Amino acid sequence: MRKYTQPLVVFVILGLSLCEGLGHSRNVSEATQEVASDVHSGKDVAIKAIVAKKPKPSYTREARKDKIEGTVILRCIFASNGEVTNIQVISGLPDGLTERAVKAAQKIKFKPATRDGKPVSMWMQLEYNFNLR
């Protein structure tokens, strides 16, 4: 997952530069504009993002067979538009568990953080524990 983060950021920056250079900044997608906007830490917002629904990832057959247990740690942006974006793997697990955690993170429902009464984007760290029972 991590190897794709840098090229995407470069693409977004180049895309912004190209659109501005051509005088078409209005045609830049909302997703690109979100990446270019300010992202705050928890201490910089008046009210932090409030998670309403955090789906749990399921085990893969391979991870169950190999008895893999542990925690996947992700860093991501809880964007002002209500989407979880820019997911970065801080600590992963094998056998598809990291990918399952990322997919679960993408489905999180939340109320965006606010600053000065307006929704803003903020960085969040997520942890997904995988334990066999």
Structure tokens at 99: 């990918």
Q: Is 130 exposed, middle or buried (0-12, 13-18, 19+ CB in 10 A)?
A: buried
Residue 126 has pLDDT above 80, yes or no: yes
Q: What is the predicted pLDDT for the residue at 120?
A: 96
DSSP 8-state class, residue 109? E
Which pLDDT tens digit goes with each residue over 19-67? 333 333 333 334 444 444 589 888 889 999 999 999 999 999 999 999 9
Question: With contact defined as beta carbons under 8 Å apart, do 71 and 57 qualify?
Answer: no
DSSP-assigned beta bridge partners for residue 118: 115
**Burial (Cβ within 10 Å: 0-12, 13-18, ≥19) of residue 120:** buried
Mean pLDDT across the chain: 80
Q: If pLDDT is split at 50, 70 and 90, which confidence band does 68 have?
A: very high
Tell me if residue 67 falls in helix, strand or coil. Answer: coil
